[in-house]
């Protein structure tokens, strides 16, 4: 598997870069960059190209929550099986296995507080392996994926300097 | 009332960049590729250290030479990166930017009538500083065919009985040129033979691409005749903190320190504390910024060549220096017309000396989006000029 860190780091900062731009900026041929990206996509090194959106600036009703979940690991499958049962739900954005006081961190979104609460009480909590849940609602997002969401950074430099 | 002014000062031409600056500021919505400083903000851990120093009420003078802890870090940094050793006790002086260090070095060494060789195009301050000491600036017009490097032959041709000093500004602003070890060895040989001191302005030393910067001070026989000047502005993105330093033999540094002591007292204290952190924990930030500059460098060079402008590949600083001689206009005419028609501010090469005629300095200390927009406008302008010519 050919992992090209320079391509990955470039795309991690800006997924809009075209193959041509990447090739120019990395000093490589377009063919080799395209082949490398294709291979990394096939190997699921690159899993997708979502856009970072500050939904607070839109009319969209969106509630996001972080749920701490304690579970009983299953024999022979550890936490993977239960994690999979949880992440299959469309409203689940992310699932992480955690160290510390709980096992799974589940990030979910919904239109309203009620819909999130409904998901927890009717879908998540009743699962056999789930022992307990603790739901934390997100009030404001300041920074995501390394990018500040709140303030716009203005170029305050003088137009011409030596 | 009698004339209150010193004719030597009055006689100094205002910086060529100043003139263009005045035209640009009248243009409200212009975009720019004319900035000589990083677009990155100073990394947060460094800013935080500056804030912390204020919280701890470290609001007093430091020793004239700068905090000893900072000088120790500078000593270790310069040794680690450029393989040259200076004693933190008396061979390092912390200054208000690299520009103060340049002024001090010239004032401490140049006597009236001494000739100082300045390769051009170059940063704007060397020549006026020499004139203020009543020294005589002797400029060498660097050649595009040599990729704007200084050759030993050019240096030999400029040397006279009165030559005392060579200013060596590499990696170079505005051309982006660098000097390799071999290039420097040839220069060092001449300097030793002709007994010339070197003021080596290495402020862009952390920004070289594909090759590591070599300091002339690290070459045999050069340590004792070199003042190495560096600082935090470019590599660590700390222009506004105004912090630089000079390294050299104690007998020279201590005389520079005397001028600094009377004129400046000491460099800003908060900046010095922040700089300690920059040197202790900043290598990764510099590497990240260097990597970003390198990508933009390739992009800008590709775009310029793609629009048919001849342009040597620069391996240092954050400038590209394309030739626009084909359009039959002076650099200033070209830059002014570009500003008026496409609202893009680019500094004409002549702002950095007469030998910059026929060239533009394009800075790539901008986000890729800004570069795309500005280069798109430049391309449109170039296409139009070519069409008009036919």
Residues B194-250 have pLDDT tens digits of 999 999 999 999 999 999 999 999 999 999 999 999 999 999 999 999 999 999 999
Confirm or reject contact between B124 and chain A (CB < 8 A): yes
**B159 and B232 both lie in a single domain:** yes
Report the residue count for chain B.
Answer: 390
Of A24, A27, A160, the CB nearest to B21: A160
Q: Where are the domains of chain A?
A: 5-42, 55-144
Residues B2-46 have pLDDT tens digits of 999 999 999 998 887 887 888 888 887 899 999 999 999 999 999
DSSP codes joined into one string, A42-59 = HTTSS--------GGGSS
Instruction: Report how far Cα A130 is from the mean position of its chain's Cα atoms.
Output: 23
Report whether B174 contacts B348 (CB < 8 A): no
**B90 and B169 both lie in a single domain:** yes
Q: Please judge whether A159 and B345 are an interchain contact, meaning their C-beta atoms are less than 8 angstroms apart.
A: yes
Q: Rounded CA gap, A85 and A105, in Å?
A: 14
Q: Please judge whether B298 and A157 are an interchain contact, meaning their C-beta atoms are less than 8 angstroms apart.
A: no
What residue numbers bound the domain in which B74 lies? 44-281
Q: How far apart are the first and last CA of chain B?
A: 59
Chain A nearest-CA distance from B18, in A, is 8
**B239 and B363 both lie in a single domain:** no
The whole-number pLDDT of residue B157 equals 98
Query: Predicted confidence band at A154 (pLDDT cuts at 50, 70, 90)?
Result: confident
Q: Please judge whether B351 and A162 are an interchain contact, meaning their C-beta atoms are less than 8 angstroms apart.
A: yes
Residue B63 has pLDDT above 80, yes or no: yes
Residues B309-333 have pLDDT tens digits of 999 999 999 999 999 999 999 999 9
**B228 and B121 both lie in a single domain:** yes
Q: Please judge whether A161 and B37 are an interchain contact, meaning their C-beta atoms are less than 8 angstroms apart.
A: yes
**B129 and B227 both lie in a single domain:** yes
Question: Count of domains in chain B?
Answer: 2
B146 located within any domain: yes
Q: Rounded CA gap, B137 and B320, in Å?
A: 26
3-state secondary structure of B215: coil
Query: Which residue does chain A place closest to B347, by CA atoms?
Result: A160
**B116 and B60 both lie in a single domain:** yes
Q: Which of B258, B281, B304 is the last residue of a domain?
A: B281
Of A10, A27, A160, the CB nearest to B34: A160
Of A10, A14, A159, the CB nearest to B34: A159
**B345 and B225 both lie in a single domain:** no
- Count CB neighbours of B40 within 10 A: 15
**B147 and B13 both lie in a single domain:** no
Residues B121-167 have pLDDT tens digits of 999 999 999 999 999 999 999 999 999 999 999 999 999 999 999 99
Residues A79-138 have pLDDT tens digits of 999 999 999 999 999 999 999 999 999 999 999 999 999 999 999 999 999 999 999 999
The whole-number pLDDT of residue B24 equals 87
Q: Which residues of chain B make contact with A26, given a CB cutoff of 8 A?
A: 295, 298
Kindly report the pTM of this predicted structure.
Answer: 0.94
Pairing of the two strands B31-32 and B344-345:
parallel
Q: Rounded CA gap, B375 and B308, in Å?
A: 13
Instruction: Report how far Cα B374 is from the mean position of its chain's Cα atoms.
Output: 24
Which domain CATH number covers B277? 3.40.640.10
Q: Rounded CA gap, B52 and B110, in Å?
A: 41
Q: Which of B222, B257, B281 is the last residue of a domain?
A: B281
Q: Please judge whether B39 and A14 are an interchain contact, meaning their C-beta atoms are less than 8 angstroms apart.
A: no
Q: Rounded CA gap, B184 and B175, in Å?
A: 17
The whole-number pLDDT of residue A153 equals 77
Report whether B146 contacts B153 (CB < 8 A): no
Q: Which residues of chain A make contact with B32, given a CB cutoff of 8 A?
A: 159-160
Q: Rounded CA gap, B111 and B165, in Å?
A: 11
Query: Predicted confidence band at A147 (pLDDT cuts at 50, 70, 90)?
Result: confident
Interface test mutation site (partner A, options B201, B292, B295, B362, max chain A beta carbons within 10 A): B295
**B360 and B307 both lie in a single domain:** yes
Pick the CATH number of A55-144 from 3.30.70.920, 3.40.1210.10, 3.30.420.40, 3.30.420.10: 3.30.70.920
- Count CB neighbours of B318 within 10 A: 30
B238 located within any domain: yes
φ, ψ dihedrals at B173, nearest 5°? -105, 120
Report whether B244 contacts B279 (CB < 8 A): no
- What torsion do the CA atoms of B205, B209, B212, B213 make, to the nearest 10 degrees? -30
Residues B259-278 have pLDDT tens digits of 999 999 999 999 999 999 99
Phi-psi label, residue A146: left if phi above 0, alpha if psi -120 to 50, beta otherwise: left
Phi-psi label, residue A144: left if phi above 0, alpha if psi -120 to 50, beta otherwise: beta
Which domain CATH number covers B308? 3.90.1150.10
**B272 and B289 both lie in a single domain:** no
Residue A1 has pLDDT above 60, yes or no: no
């Amino acid at each position: 598997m050919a992992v090209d860190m320079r391509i990955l780091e470039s795309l991690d900062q800006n997924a809009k870069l075209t193959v041509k731009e990447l090739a120019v900026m990395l000093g490589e041929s377009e063919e080799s960059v395209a082949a490398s990206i294709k291979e990394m996509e096939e190997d699921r090194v690159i899993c997708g190209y979502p856009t970072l959106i500050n939904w607070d600036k839109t009319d969209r009703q969106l509630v996001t929550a972080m749920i701490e979940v304690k579970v009983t690991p299953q024999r022979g499958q550890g936490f993977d099986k239960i994690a999979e049962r949880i992440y299959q739900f469309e409203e689940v954005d992310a699932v992480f296995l955690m160290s510390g006081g709980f096992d799974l961190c589940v990030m979910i979104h919904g239109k309203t507080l009620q819909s999130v609460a409904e998901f927890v009480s009717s879908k998540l909590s009743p699962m056999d392996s789930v022992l307990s849940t603790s739901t934390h609602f997100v009030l404001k997002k300041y920074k995501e994926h390394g990018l500040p969401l709140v303030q716009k950074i203005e170029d305050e430099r003088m137009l011409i300097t030596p | 009332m009698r004339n209150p002014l010193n004719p030597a000062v009055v006689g100094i031409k205002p910086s060529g960049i100043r003139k263009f600056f005045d035209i640009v500021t009248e243009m409200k919505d212009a975009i720019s590729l004319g900035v000589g400083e990083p677009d990155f903000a100073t990394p947060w851990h460094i800013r935080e250290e500056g804030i912390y120093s204020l919280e701890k009420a470290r609001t007093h003078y430091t020793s004239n030479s700068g905090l000893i802890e900072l000088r120790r870090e500078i000593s270790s940094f310069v040794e680690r990166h450029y393989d040259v050793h200076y004693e933190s006790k008396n061979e390092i002086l912390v200054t208000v930017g690299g520009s103060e260090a340049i002024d001090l070095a010239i004032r401490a060494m140049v006597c009236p009538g001494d000739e100082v060789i300045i390769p051009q195009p170059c940063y704007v301050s060397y020549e006026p500083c020499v004139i203020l000491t009543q020294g005589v600036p002797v400029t060498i017009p660097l050649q595009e065919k040599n990729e704007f490097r200084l050759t030993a032959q050019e240096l030999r041709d400029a040397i006279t009985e009165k030559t005392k000093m060579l200013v060596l500004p590499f990696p170079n602003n505005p051309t982006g040129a660098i000097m390799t070890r071999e290039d420097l060895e040839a220069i060092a040989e001449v300097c030793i033979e002709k007994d010339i001191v070197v003021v080596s302005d290495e402020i862009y030393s952390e920004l070289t691409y594909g090759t590591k910067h070599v300091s002339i001070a690290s070459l045999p026989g050069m340590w004792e005749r070199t003042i190495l000047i560096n600082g935090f502005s470019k590599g660590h993105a700390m222009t506004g903190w105004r912090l630089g330093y000079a390294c050299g033999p104690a007998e020279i540094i201590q005389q520079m320190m005397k001028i600094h002591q009377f004129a400046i007292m000491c460099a800003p204290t908060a900046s010095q504390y922040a700089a300690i952190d920059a040197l202790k924990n900043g290598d990764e930030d510099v590497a990240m910024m260097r990597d970003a500059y390198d990508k933009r460098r390739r992009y800008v060079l590709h775009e310029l060549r793609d629009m048919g402008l001849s342009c040597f590949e620069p391996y240092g600083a954050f400038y590209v220096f394309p030739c626009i001689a084909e359009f039959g206009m002076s650099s200033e005419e070209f830059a002014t017309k570009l500003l008026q028609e496409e609202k893009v501010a680019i500094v004409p090469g002549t702002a950095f000396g007469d030998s910059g005629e026929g060239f533009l300095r394009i800075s790539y200390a901008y986000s890729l989006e800004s570069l795309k927009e500005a280069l798109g406008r430049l391309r449109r302008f170039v296409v139009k000029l070519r069409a008009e010519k036919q």
